[in-house]
Amino acid sequence: MTTNAVDKILLAHGGGGRLTDQLIRHNILPKLKNDILAELADAAKLELSSSSVCFSTDSYVVKPLFFNGGDIGKLAVCGTINDLAVAGAKPAVLGLALIIEEGFEFRLLEKILESAADTAKQNNVPIVAGDTKVVETGAADKIFINTAGVGTRLPGVDLGFDKIALGDKLIINGTIGDHGMAIICQREDIKFQSDLESDCAAVAELVCKILESIAGVKFMRDPTRGGLAATLNEIVIASGHSIEITEADIPVKPTAQAAADVLGFDILNVANEGKFVAVVSPESAENILSLCRNHPLGKDAQIIGSVVRTADAPVVELITRIGGRRIVQMPYGHELPRIC
């Protein structure tokens, strides 16, 4: 029996025998094609441009697998690339591991792999290691992906919570909440879902450009699960400084805001997949902002707030559109399961 004789993944495709070999050689390798992976060694041999590296891993269980603006394959590649970039590293290589539920369609697997491969290629980050497991029906939901990545640290760049100081500015590279609202509206089959598009994108090129050309970046993080609220609270907790943000300066697409309002979400808590928050020195803020705005993934960038003095325990405080103030809490975390 050839792989083409079945259109669905069988348990035997994960059994390590002939069908596994066929799956890898006929369905996976042609999509992810590169010389290192083609060796099918137990581990990829790498020549990196520096011995100072960052390493990151993340699992992707997003539901639905295909959404407006992306799919689980693109998301899995972008997510790990972004984690490396915001840590101050130029992404170099990725590994990609699949956990597939028996019965999953080959057609969909190939679509996901194509998307992962295209995204990796566009970003010049080859997928050099991989793994495939198949579990019985019901033991997973269609497909889960884990990616891991290594990036070489940019020389002279040292980001950390400890670098954050009073007066620093906070920059975001564009509108918030697009990924989460696109996913949740598609999942709930909400009418205006077609107007919502995930921001799923790899921001490494823009992030590396900023870090390589402008001094003054103290810390960066991608506000994924838990949205901007979680990232800002993490910064406050780890740095011991308070943050003040201005609602009117936070970029939000009207459709994403409308969807959040209708469904009762605070847009600050909603996930992003193509965004970074940068804490930067006040002197560098305008230069970084204009560099962002000259890049397609930063055209809606804004300075959204600053690091401020705190009387008591440090907090994230929002100045509302009508001039009021409210504390932005760390989201509890149950609002949006399987968002990425």
Tokens standing for residue 85: 């970039």
Contact 67, 186 (CB under 8 A): yes
Tokens standing for residue 214: 């402008």
Min. distance of Cβ 97 from Mg ion in angstroms?
A: 19
The alpha-helical segments, DSSP class H, found in 161-280 are 178-187, 204-213, 227-239, 254-263
Min. distance of Cβ 248 from Mg ion in angstroms?
A: 27
Backbone angles phi, psi at 242, to 5 degrees: -85, 160
Min. distance of Cβ 318 from Mg ion in angstroms?
A: 22
Q: Which is nearer to Mg ion, 83 or 247 (CB)?
A: 83
Q: At what angle do helices 106-122 and 72-86 cross, to 10 degrees?
A: 30
Tokens standing for residue 112: 């996901």
Question: Stretches 77-85, 111-119, 185-193, 291-299: which one binds Mg ion (CB under 5 A)?
Answer: 77-85
Contact 83, 121 (CB under 8 A): no
Number of residues that bind Mg ion (CB under 5 A): 2
Give the integer Cα–Cα distance in Å for 270 and 336: 8
Q: Is 273 in the site for Mg ion (CB under 5 A)?
A: no
Q: What is the side-by-side strand order in the sheet with 302-308? A: 217-221, 277-280, 169-172, 302-308, 242-246, 316-319, 325-327
Question: Stretches 76-84, 238-246, 249-257, 259-267: which one binds Mg ion (CB under 5 A)?
Answer: 76-84
Helix (H) or strand (E) holding 317: strand 316-319
Min. distance of Cβ 82 from Mg ion in angstroms?
A: 7
Total Cβ atoms within 10 A of residue 33:
13
Min. distance of Cβ 83 from Mg ion in angstroms?
A: 4
User: Where in 122-141 is the site for Mg ion (CB under 5 A)?
Assistant: none
Contact 198, 72 (CB under 8 A): no
Min. distance of Cβ 58 from Mg ion in angstroms?
A: 8
- Strand spans (E) along 42-110: 53-60, 66-67, 70-71, 89-101
User: Where in 79-98 is the site for Mg ion (CB under 5 A)?
Assistant: 83
Backbone angles phi, psi at 325, to 5 degrees: -130, 140
Q: Which is nearer to Mg ion, 19 or 236 (CB)?
A: 236
Q: Which is nearer to Mg ion, 23 or 316 (CB)?
A: 316
Q: Which is nearer to Mg ion, 253 or 275 (CB)?
A: 275
Q: Which is nearer to Mg ion, 222 or 247 (CB)?
A: 222
User: Where in 15-34 is the site for Mg ion (CB under 5 A)?
Assistant: none
Min. distance of Cβ 340 from Mg ion in angstroms?
A: 10
User: Where in 165-224 is the site for Mg ion (CB under 5 A)?
Assistant: 222
Tokens standing for residue 210: 């900023």
Q: Which is nearer to Mg ion, 197 or 222 (CB)?
A: 222
Q: Which is nearer to Mg ion, 84 or 113 (CB)?
A: 84
Q: Which is nearer to Mg ion, 113 or 204 (CB)?
A: 204
Min. distance of Cβ 79 from Mg ion in angstroms?
A: 8
Min. distance of Cβ 222 from Mg ion in angstroms?
A: 4
Question: Stretches 6-14, 75-83, 290-298, 321-329: which one binds Mg ion (CB under 5 A)?
Answer: 75-83
Amino acid letter, residue 77: V
Query: Pick from 291, 130, 140, 151: which is nearest to 214 by CA?
Result: 291
* Cα–chain center distance at 179: 10
Token pair 């997510």 in the structure block, residue = 79
Q: Which is nearer to Mg ion, 241 or 275 (CB)?
A: 275
Torsion of CA 44, 119, 69, 134, to 10 degrees: -30
Give residues in contact with Mg ion (CB under 5 A). Answer: 83, 222
